[in-house]
Amino acid sequence: AQTVTQSQPEMSVQEAETVTLSCTYDTSESDYYLFWYKQPPSRQMILVIRQEAYKQQNATENRFSVNFQKAAKSFSLKISDSQLGDAAMYFCAHLIQGAQKLVFGQGTRLTINP
Amino acid sequence: NAGVMQNPRHLVRRRGQEARLRCSPMKGHSHVYWYRQLPEEGLKFMVYLQKENIIDESGMPKERFSAEFPKEGPSILRIQQVVRGDSAAYFCASSARVETQYFGPGTRLLVL
């Protein structure tokens, strides 16, 4: 069965600093996708970044980048130049090719200190 | 291009009543998914639908819950005879292809 584990319930970072959120997953499949979603206090789920497992290059979206280690089944999110608006719950999610259902981790609450 | 629309945003029901949650996918999206989020937890998959078809309902409780995505109109998640344990946020997502799902703002259901 698919599982996604986020081992950091809470993280905090100073504004303008860099923070890394951890995520590990377990799957026996070779074709899959990984995502980071952000859930601010409004509780809207916002897609931050996505990674295809077949791509070796790590995905990047502006200040957000991932470190995808397929052999280790690790998918961490790095946020550079942290901003107050980055404060939110961050969820890592896994999607098996052809399965259509996202499996989410428990979430990491990120606080940005001014 | 409007995002995924959900209504109502907040719904209060008494035990035993029915709850109907609506979801309109993004324009051009034919895949709809429903997820449930309990307080302080991640989202849990409930059901995946395409127009007029339930593709995967492996996350749906066996009783009281049903979902549909008719040829015309929004997708509906229906909960009959609600109980306090049904109180949660219910999120709908849609996708054009199966890889990337975009979420609506959610419906917060409170059962008194």
Q: Do A100 and B48 touch (CB under 8 A)?
A: yes
**pLDDT of res. B39:** 84
Q: Does B57 touch chain A (CB under 8 A)?
A: no
**pLDDT of res. B98:** 66
Nearest to A43 among B31, B56, B106 (CB): B106
**pLDDT of res. B89:** 96
Per-residue pLDDT 10s for chain B (112 aa) are 578 999 999 999 999 999 999 999 999 899 999 999 998 888 999 999 998 899 999 999 989 999 999 988 999 999 999 999 999 999 999 998 767 899 999 999 999 9
**pLDDT of res. B97:** 75
- Calculate how close chain B gets to A96, using CA atoms only, in Å: 9
Q: Does B101 touch chain A (CB under 8 A)?
A: yes
Q: How far is CA B33 from CA A108, B24, B95, in A?
A: 23, 11, 9
Residues of B in contact with A52 (CB under 8 A): 99
Residues of A in contact with B101 (CB under 8 A): 47, 95, 102
Q: Do B56 and A91 touch (CB under 8 A)?
A: no
Nearest to A33 among B59, B99, B108 (CB): B99
Among all chains, which residue has been given the structure tokens 């959610």?
B106
pLDDT-above-90 percentage for chain A? 82
What is the Cα–Cα distance from B103 to A104, expressed in whole angstroms? 14
**pLDDT of res. A87:** 97
Pairing type for strands A46-52 and A32-39 reads: antiparallel
In one-letter notation, the amino acid at residue A65 is: S
pLDDT greater than 80 at residue A105 = yes
Q: Do B33 and A101 touch (CB under 8 A)?
A: yes
**Model pLDDT for residues A4-35, shown as the tens digit of each residue:** 999 999 999 999 999 999 999 998 888 899 99
